[in-house]
Structure 1
Amino acid sequence: MARTVQDFKLGKREQRLRLEARKKPYWTTINEGEHLGYYRGARVGKWLARFRAPGGGAYQEATLAQADDFADADGEVILNFRQAQDKARSWFASPDRGGARRTGPYTVGTALDDYVADFTGKDLANTKRRIEKLIRPTLGAVEIARLTSKQIDDWKLALARSPARLRTAADADQNYRAAPVSTEDMRRRQSNANRVLTVLKAALNKAFRGEKAASDSAWRRVKPFPKVDAPRLRYLSDAEARRLVNSALPDFRLLIQAALLTGARYAELTNLEVRDFDAASASLWLRETKAGVGRAVYLDAEGVQLFKQQTAGRAKSDRMFLKSTGQPWGAAHQARPMAEARLAAKIDHVSFHDLRRTYGARLALKGVPMAIIAEALGHADERITRKHYAHLSPSHVGDVVRAAVTGMQIVEKSKVVAIG
Structure 2
Amino acid sequence: MSDQPFTIQRLRGAWAIVWRDGDGNRHRQALAAPDRIGAEAEARQRWRLGNRSRRTVGGLVEAYLADRKAEGIVTADRQADAWKAMKSYWGDVSPNLIDKDMARGYAARRKAATATIRYELSMLSVALRWAKDEKLIDAAPEIWRPAPPDRKQRHLSQQEFETFFAQVKAPHARLYVLLGLYTMARPAALLDLTWDRVDWKRGTIDLNPPGRTRTAKKRAETIPLNDEAIEALKLAWTARQTDYVIERGGKRIANVKKLFQAASERSGIHVTAYMLRHTGAVWAAEAGAPMSELAQFMGHDDSRTTEKHYARYTPGFLRGVANRVRRAETTEVQMNLGVLSA
Fold conserved (TM > 0.5)? yes
1:125 equivalent among 77, 96, 103: 77
State the distance in 2 between where 1:53 and 1:377 align.
58
> SS state of the match for residue 53, structure 2?
coil
Indicate conservation of the 8 Å contact 2:7/2:17, yes or no. Answer: no
Contact kept, 8 Å, 1:282 with 1:299, in 2: the verdict is: yes
Q: For residue 298 of structure 1, report the CA deviation from its aligned partner.
A: 0.8
1:260 paired residue number: 181
Counterpart pick for 1:298 among 205, 220, 224: 224
1:105 aligned partner:
53
1:21-420 matches, cutoff 5 A = 48-52=13-17, 58-59=27-28, 103-105=51-53, 109=57, 112=61, 123-134=75-86, 136-159=87-110, 162-163=111-112, 189-203=113-127, 212-213=138-139, 219=142, 222=144, 224-232=145-153, 234-249=154-169, 251=171, 252-286=173-207, 288=209, 295-311=221-237, 319-323=244-248, 326-328=249-251, 330-332=253-255, 335-336=258-259, 338-342=260-264, 344-345=266-267, 347-379=268-300, 385=306, 388-394=309-315, 397=318, 399-401=320-322, 404=325
Q: Distance in 2 between matches of 1:341 and 1:143?
A: 42
* Aligned residue type for 1:331: A
Cα 1:304–1:54 change in 2 (3 A) is farther
1:62-120 Cα distance to aligned partner (Å, 9 max, x none) = 9xxxxxxxxxxxxxxxxxx9xx89xxxxxxxxxxxxxxx99343665266467657768
Unaligned stretches of 5+ residues in structure 1:
6-23, 26-34, 38-47, 63-80, 86-100, 164-188, 407-420
Q: Which amino acid aligns with 1:298?
A: P
Give the residue type in structure 1 aligned to 2:51. Answer: T
CA contact (8 A) 1:191 1:229 kept: no
1:136-173 CA distances to partner (integer Å, 9 max, x unpaired)?
432444445444432232223323xx24xxxxxxxxxx
CA contact under 8 A between 1:261 and 1:303: conserved in structure 2? yes
3-state SS of 1:297 partner: strand
Give 1:124 shift.
Answer: 3.2
Alignment partners' CA distance in 2, 1:147 and 1:294: 38
Identity of aligned residues (%): 20
Q: Rate the CA distance shift 1:130–1:235 in 2: closer, same or farther, 3 A.
A: same
Counterpart contact for 2:311–2:317, Cα < 8 Å: no
Structure 1 match to 2:43: none
Residue 391 of structure 1 and its aligned partner are, at CA, apart by 3.7
Structure 2: runs of 5 or more not aligned: 36-48, 328-342
SS at match of 1:125: helix
Cα distance between partner residues in 1 of 2:122 and 2:76: 14
Larger Rg: 2
Q: Contact (CA 8 Å) 1:247, 1:341: kept in 2 or not?
A: yes
Q: How many residues align?
A: 295
Distance 1:54 1:384, change over 3 A: farther
As a proportion of its length, which structure holds more helix? 2
Q: Distance in 2 between matches of 1:53 and 1:3?
A: 5
What's the offset of the Cα at 1:315?
A: 7.4
User: Amino acid of the residue matched to residue 197 of structure 1?
Assistant: L
Contact 2:242 2:251 in 1 (8 A): no
Deviation at 1:281, TM superposition (A): 0.8
Deviation per CA, 1:245-292, whole angstroms, max 9, x where unpaired?
334326233332232222234554455444433222111233558968
Cα 1:334–1:131 shift into 2, 3 Å: closer
Q: TM-score, normalised by structure 1?
A: 0.53
SS in 1 for 2:201: coil
Contact 1:274 1:319 in 2 (8 A): yes
CA distance in 2, matches of 1:283, 1:190: 38
User: Which one scores higher on RCO, CA 8 angstroms, separation ≥ 6?
Assistant: 2
- When residues 351 and 143 of structure 1 are mapped into structure 2, their CA distance, relative to the original with a 3 A threshold, is closer
Distance 1:151 1:327 in 2: 44
Q: Which moved more, 1:394-403 or 1:358-367?
A: 394-403
Aligned 8 A contact 2:247 2:253 in 1: no
